[in-house]
Structure 1
């Protein structure tokens, strides 16, 4: 294992532990603050089809944000593990009454419904999870590479392209520098409860 992989693994463990130390009250306050900050992002007005995700492993709770976006009449989509292309994600429309199931990692996802799937090119915004980030927009994920592979074709898009990419995280997940690999997809924007980083 080379040094960059070792440092990424150690950093991932460190920040996951830091995130897991947040108590329920801190988690609740952070989720509410982020939902409020994100909902006021000016670029959100141009976004109707938004991919989000359900929180796992002490990630910042996305439910307040999902409900805030529903109140703004936004269409929300959740990721599913691609059934035919290993290591990739597809996105499906998500409503309060959408049937759910657990995937192979124990993470809830919508029960497969082909008519409710949306092509990546028709999404206006994709909100990505992350373990750690830096001010340059570099993102460290859980290590599975699902978002990196799925979004690789969009890494060179300009801010005017579609879909836009934005990461969300607790403030404690910011680090000085992420060790970068060639396949990493940097994010043009990252939202935390305290601030919005625009790169």
Structure 2
């Protein structure tokens, strides 16, 4: 069983790392966004047009807008998450273009307005670039606490091997790396995490 002390520790990590990333200056955020864009555009996975799920920054997360604009220019299709209207705790992904109507969800996060014609099923996504609050040297990811991405990524490796689901990569500031996170049974480790200064890989992440 996941112990109460571990839950308390996760809360402490979450509070400390969220405070830390929010403390980054405007210039630091801009530099991080450009460095992440440059690193990601070098990925072999992005050498051909893809369906890529991204996010819009919230609460000090790395800004993805420079990357999104660069991916549009290269012919990639971008999807953004929105809270599922009928399945609590889950996400839908909708195509995002410069003219996509937006709104804010109950957490204050920008998301596409619901339009069933713009939904991109998870199985059609090639890549999902996820935000995170903290990560450790084993590829474990700590999110905001809602479990939305853990549910989305559950069993990702098996689906991806069958060509029916996206490959996940986490995006973070360098200051969000810690030695070790308290891990729960529902946590889904990531195979790769990219920061402005580094690219971390764990080939066995997500293995059954």
Moved more, 142-151 or 42-51: 42-51
Note the residue ranges of structure 1 that are not aligned, 5 or more in a row. none
Q: Is the 2:94–2:119 Cα contact (8 Å) retained in structure 1?
A: yes
Match of 2:191 in 1: 188
SS in structure 2 at match of 1:118: coil
| Kept in 2: contact 1:155–1:185 (CA 8 A) | no
1:44 pairs with 2:37 = no
Selected match of 2:18 from 3, 16, 19: 16
Aligned to 2:156: 154
CA distance in structure 1 between the partners assigned to 2:192 and 2:49 by the alignment: 15
**1:160-179 pair list within 5 angstroms:** 162-179=165-182
**Contact 2:101 2:113 (C-alpha < 8 Å) held by counterparts:** yes
- Rounded Cα–Cα distance in structure 2 between residues aligned with 1:114 and 1:193: 35
Aligned length: 199
Q: CA RMSD in A?
A: 1.5
TM-score by length of 1: 0.95
Aligned to 2:82: 80
Q: TM-score, normalised by structure 2?
A: 0.91
Q: How far apart are residue 151 of structure 1 and its match?
A: 2.0
The CA deviation at 1:149 is 1.4
Residue matched to 2:206: none
Separation (CA, whole Å) in 1 of partners of 2:199 and 2:67? 15
